Amino acid sequence: MLEAARPAEMAPLMVDAYGKQIAGRLHVSSYTVQDHLKMKSQMKEKACPGGQASPSG
């Protein structure tokens, strides 16, 4: 059975694939992009433990 990937699992993949492009367009370091995505995924995990969608959407 397949499960949707949790944000914490996706952030490293996104950084590997697009981190330098994102950083270049925003004129920030790739480390800043990595830290931001990591923080956002941790916030999402706290809001929706186990990757479950909230009832409101």
* DSSP annotation string for 3-22: -PPPHHHHHHHHHHHHHHHH
Condensed to tens digits (0 to 9), the pLDDT of residues 3-56 reads 888 877 887 888 889 888 989 999 999 899 888 888 887 777 777 766 555 444
Q: Does a structural domain hold residue 30?
A: yes
Q: Does a structural domain hold residue 51?
A: no
Confidence (pLDDT) at 25: 94
With a threshold of 0.85, does the pTM exceed it? no
The Cα 34–Cα 18 span in angstroms is 10
Q: Does a structural domain hold residue 22?
A: yes
Q: Does a structural domain hold residue 14?
A: yes
- pLDDT for residue 1 is more than 60: yes
What's the domain range around 27?
7-46
The number of domains in the chain is 1
**Angle at the Cα of 2 from the Cα atoms of 17 and 21, rounded to 5 degrees:** 10
Q: Does a structural domain hold residue 24?
A: yes
